[in-house]
Amino acid sequence: MEARLPSFSAAPTSSPETSSLWDRAFLEHPRTLGESYWQHQHRAVGFGAAMIAGGIACVIHALVPTLFERTASGTIVRLYERMRATHRLSR
């Protein structure tokens, strides 16, 4: 039997209060970016993983300055450019 993931494209229909809370908690923000819940989750996990990797590289660089000299700053630049391209940030 194939496992099926729940669809986060529509709010549950149990009650107006639950639907409103569901919409605010899971759908409102991704919708403002033109993304589904799953698209937003995928993008956010990617950004978070890149930030963690850059942070670890920065800590290692603090201990051994010849390692990862440009990794953290390069990560920041790449993420900023990606954010600007996909979310139309100003500046």
Question: C-alpha distances in angstroms, 60 versus 38, 51, 77, 85?
Answer: 33, 14, 19, 30
How many whole angstroms separate alpha carbon 24 and alpha carbon 19? 8
How many whole angstroms separate alpha carbon 4 and alpha carbon 85? 33
- Least reliable range by pLDDT among 20-24, 44-48, 69-73: 20-24
**In the prediction, which pLDDT does 83 show?**
87
How many whole angstroms separate alpha carbon 56 and alpha carbon 10? 38
Confidence of residue 3 (pLDDT cuts 50, 70, 90): low
Q: Is the pLDDT of residue 12 over 60?
A: no
Residues 47-82 pLDDT 10s: 999 999 999 999 999 999 999 999 999 999 999 999
- Give the residue-averaged pLDDT of 37-52: 94
Q: Is the pLDDT of residue 90 over 80?
A: no
| Nearest of 1, 4, 23 to residue 14 by alpha carbon | 23
Q: Do the Cβ atoms of 37 and 64 come closer than 8 Å?
A: no
Q: What percent of the chain has pLDDT over 90?
A: 51
